[in-house]
Amino acid sequence: MGFRRHGPFQAGDQVQLTDPKNKRHTLTLKADGVFHTHKGWIPHTDLIGQPEGSVVRSSGGTQYLAFRHLLQDYTLAMPRGAAVIYPKDCGQIVAMADIFPGAKVVEAGVGSGALSCFLLRAVGTEGSLTSYERRADFAEIATKNVEKFYGGEMKQWRLVVGDFVEALDETDVDRIILDMLAPWECVDASARALTPGGVICCYVATTTQLSKTVETIREHGSFTEPHAWETLVRDWHVEGLAVRPDHRMVGHTGFLVTARRMADGVTPPPRRRRPSKGAYGEGTEGQ
């Protein structure tokens, strides 16, 4: 299947309508469909055949902008089994884990399929994505969400229902993404599957998980020094000379940790910066 449909709207397309107050509505076009709101109704035939970026008017006179979903819009609006990874974090994963066209990528913890959508786009038609999910109900929801966005089955995607450590059968993997409660339990299996130079990327929600993940990667001996961070997104209000930050922002959603797989038999160089006194508890100095 293609990655995105272009051209005029067709029956079966998902369309996002935005009203003058920036309220958004999602509908799937049908030949006999009608979109209803308290501001009037719009027959789907008013949209079918029109180009993206058209304006349609409801029976009540309200104008709506019509576009196909951007991926970021789709992932926030799609049905959920588990909580989704927000677009700001998906973007960081694609960039900072260096997901490239043609890459062989493995993810564990598919959730509702939001990150899978971003990863599939990044690896392209020449790459591959294998996703491991313990829960069959989450896997079913993720499959429906991914196939709905891309318009059908993705040949470069394989979804495995099972435990990552037990079911992992991939080798020479370029990138591994772990989105789960205890990613430290999967570090050893990830090290065996990754090719030298490959990247492991972990997404965790709490500082306790962050600490355990970083220390496990650090102590394993097969990875470079882990890099940990979070991203915060703040919109700005811009009206003439009234330029100020919005009162609300997308703050903490999760922490990200990345590290690179070293060659077999190589010992990582010692860290130059020693941990502060007491960082590892009384009477210890860390490594």
Strand partners for 228? 257
> In sequence order, what E strands does 157-284 have?
157-161, 173-179, 194-204, 227-229, 236-239, 242-245, 255-260
Between CA 213 and CA 183 the distance in angstroms is 6
- β-strands 157-161, 128-133: how paired? parallel
Nearest to 14 by CA among 114, 147, 139, 142: 147
Q: Which residue has the tokens 């470079």?
A: 224
* Residue 190 annotated as binding site: no
Q: Is 133 annotated as a binding residue?
A: yes
For 167, other C-beta atoms within 10 Å of its C-beta total 16
Which backbone phi and psi does 163 adopt, to 5 degrees? -75, 135
H or E segment and range at residue 115: helix 114-123
Q: Which two tokens stand for residue 218?
A: 């650090």
Helices (H), 229-268: none
Ligand-binding annotation for 128, yes or no, is: no
Burial class of 258 by CB neighbour count within 10 A (0 to 12, 13 to 18, 19+): buried
Ligand-binding site membership of 163 (annotated): yes
* CB-based contact 47:65 (threshold 8 Å): no
Q: Is 113 annotated as a binding residue?
A: yes
The CA-CA-CA angle for residues 55, 88, 183, to 5°, reads 140
Of 209, 160, 202, 156, give the one whose Cα is nearest residue 177.
202
End-to-end alpha carbon distance in the chain: 50
Which residues make up each annotated binding site for S-adenosyl-L-methionine?
112-115, 133, 163, 179
**Could you tell me which residues are annotated as the binding site?**
112-115, 133, 163, 179
